Each structure stands twice: as structure tokens, then as C-alpha cells.
Amino acid sequence: MKILDFLVLLGLHSAAAVIHSMKNFFTVSSQVPNFPEFVAVGMVDDVQIYHYDSKTRRLEPKQDWMNRVAEDDPQFWKSYTAICLGYHQLFKGYIETLKHRFNQTGGVHIFQWLVGCEWDDESGEVNGFRQVGYDGEDFLSWDVKTNTWIAPKQQAVITKNNWNNDKVLMAYYKYTITQELPYWLQKLMMYGRSSLMRTELPSVSLLQKTPSSPVSCFATGFYPDRAEIFWRKDGEELHENVELGEILPNHDGSFQMSVDLDLSSVTPEDWRRYECVFHLSGVKDDIITKLDKTAIQTNWGKTGDGRDGGPSGFPLGAVIGGVVVLLLLVVGIVGFFLWKKNNNCER
């Protein structure tokens, strides 16, 4: 099935363009305590779909819909488990080769292999990628346009030349990137359509730690993670006095992010000119939150009846009163035990 035919099947042309991806991470380690020597993890649109490690020697689905793949193809898990077993032995040998090339003996060493592809659901363009890392640094990268390996390190030149001169190997690399992986990405997207292609809008709040702190526009509960959030003044996006936070995962699989705005040089009269904009990829309408002082949630401010508030707006009078009652209670208990002790001594 061609990619554009697949897009029509899913009805994606009516939505905004989205880049979908499939990534396979393979890691072999040497002398890392309490960690499997080999680990394989698969991701579709940054959602984990499978896990394999050398301790269990079992390929485990991480999404319920992945079980449907095995139902339709009973040999799928068995075949992919065999691939992981082969990669384990192959990459284990690579570590020994690289240890020799870097003049290393024992110690902890890690070899990583990343292979995958991504495609634009509007244009149908496919891009593949392969990267090799050793001990936390780039060792080799694959150029999809020239179908050749690039060596960022001198120690990688020998491997680069050997692989680039192997025409059969390079033809296989090109086939997997341009044909096999896009095919599987399309197939898995079809199986996990209801989960992977869902959109969930966030709740957006304005937060402030203290009256002099920046105002944070906080969005949480959105999916997928292809989202933007920014401050706008008079309809123009702001870049000064703005600090954008990272997109972080929530425990339920959704995401959160925030953007701070420094208002120290803004007069109260100008606050109405500012607004926070949240945009989720694939969703037409943005969520716009006007900068309104009364809507800001803060740890410091006024209570509902106008009294001075402490943290979380809790009345300071109630806090002080509670402390006084607690102290009186403690004094009473201590006095009782002292009285009881004195009476016992007098007997």
C-alpha cells in the first residue's frame, strides 16, 4: 500500500500535516551491574510499543493494540525475537572491536544503535535515519540522501569505509529505510489508530508563585506532544521576557508544558494586551487565555473575604489561631504529667 493511499484510508488530508515516526533503539552494555546486557525498545510517535531484554529473552508488547499484530501474524513475535537475539550477538562483538580501537580494556562500555523513519502525512515524504553511539558519544551516522555512512570520529573511519564499500549491505540499508520500515510504520499506525491518532486538549491555567514572580501559562493533559505554547501581545508573538519550558510527560500518558512571562516592566493597565496561546498539532482552533489578574492562581494573595492570605490563600488568622491552640494543648499535656509526677513523689 502506498503512503498516500494509506493517508486517504485514515482520512488525514482534512487535518493539519503531522510528522509520524518509528524508532527502534538497541543497546548493548558491558559490565553494567544490575542491567540487562542487551535491551531493545520500539517507539511509534514516541509511544513505546515493545520491549525486549537479554534477561527475559521475551518480546513484550507495551500497548494493547500490539496484540492484534500477533493475532494477524502469529510469527511476528517469534521472528522479531530472533532478530533481537541476532542483534545482541552482533553488537556485543562491536563493543569488543571498539574497545580495542579505543585502547580500552575492562570497565563499563555502552554501544547504541538507532534505526527508524518518519513521514509527513500530507506530502507523503519519507525520511530514514540510522545512528550509532559508543559510550555516550556519536560514532557513526547514516546519510539517507547519499546512502553512505559518515564518521564524526577518527576511530570510526575504518568501520565507515568497510560498510560503505559493502554494496550488498548498503543496498539492504536503503531497502529497510525506504521500504520495510515505512511499511511497518503504516501498518502499526493502522493498528493503533484510535490511540496514536487521538487528540486531547489540555486545561490551561495562569500561575504565579509570588507577586513579583513571572506569570506562568501552564497547559496539562494534552496529547500528542506535538504542541506549542507562547505569549502574545496585541496579536504578536513575544520572544523577549519569555521563558519556554520543556514538554514533560504526565503519569497517564498525556503531556504538560508551560511558558513564563516576566511582567516586572508592564503596567497593570497593559495586562489586558497580553494573552497565552496553546496550539495542538492537528487541531484547528487554538486555546487562548487572556492575562487576567483575577484568574491567576497563586500561593500569595487575598482570600475570598478580602483578608490577607498566606500560602495557597489560606487565612493567616486561622493559621495563627491554630498554632496558639496547639501550643496551649501541648502546655496542658506537659503540665498534667508534671502534676502527676509531683503527686507520685509526695506519696
The yes-or-no verdict on residue 5 having pLDDT over 80 is no
The yes-or-no verdict on residue 264 having pLDDT over 80 is yes
274 in Cβ contact with 291 (< 8 Å) = yes
Comma-separated ranges of CATH 3.30.500.10 domains in the chain: 3-196
The yes-or-no verdict on residue 14 having pLDDT over 50 is no
pLDDT at 301: 55
pLDDT at 17: 59
pLDDT for 116-125, tens place per residue? 999 887 788 8
40 in Cβ contact with 145 (< 8 Å) = no
CA separation for the pair 207, 215 (Å, rounded): 6
pLDDT at 323: 41
Helix (H) or strand (E) segment spanning residue 229: strand 227-233
- Section 61-85 average pLDDT: 91
Banded pLDDT at 115 (limits 50, 70, 90): very high
The yes-or-no verdict on residue 322 having pLDDT over 70 is no
CA separation for the pair 88, 109 (Å, rounded): 15
Residue for grid cell 508573538:
237
pLDDT for 160-185, tens place per residue? 999 999 999 999 999 998 899 999 99
pLDDT for 180-229, tens place per residue? 999 999 899 999 988 888 899 999 999 999 988 999 999 999 998 889 99
pLDDT at 333: 44
**Burial (CB count within 10 angstroms: exposed 0-12, middle 13-18, buried 19+), residue 294:** exposed
Q: Chain-wide mean pLDDT for the chain?
A: 83
Helix (H) or strand (E) segment spanning residue 255: strand 255-261
pLDDT for 20-63, tens place per residue? 899 999 999 999 989 999 999 999 988 899 999 999 999 999 99
Distances in Å between the Cα of 198 and the Cα atoms of 8, 60, 221, 224 are 17, 23, 13, 7
* Pick from 116, 127, 95, 143: nearest CA to 46: 116
Comma-separated ranges of CATH 2.60.40.10 domains in the chain: 203-298
50 in Cβ contact with 62 (< 8 Å) = yes
Q: Is the peptide bond before 214 cis (omega within 30 degrees of 0)?
A: no
Q: Where are the beta strands (DSSP E) in 35-183?
A: 38-44, 47-53, 60-61, 109-120, 126-134, 137-143, 148-150
For CA atoms 205, 208, 209, 214, give the dihedral sign.
positive
pLDDT at 156: 96
The yes-or-no verdict on residue 279 having pLDDT over 90 is yes
Strand 126-134 relative to strand 137-143: parallel, antiparallel, unpaired? antiparallel
Q: Indicate the CATH number for domain 203-298.
A: 2.60.40.10
Cell of 302: 487575598
The yes-or-no verdict on residue 246 having pLDDT over 80 is yes
Distances in Å between the Cα of 274 and the Cα atoms of 233, 245, 296 are 5, 19, 13
Across 37-41, 232-236, 252-256, 320-324, least confident range? 320-324
Residue 312 DSSP one-character state: G
Q: Which CATH architecture is the domain 3-196 placed in?
A: 2-Layer Sandwich (3.30)
pTM for this one?
Answer: 0.69
Banded pLDDT at 288 (limits 50, 70, 90): very high
pLDDT at 300: 67
- Section 286-304 average pLDDT: 81
* Pick from 30, 155, 194: nearest CA to 96: 30
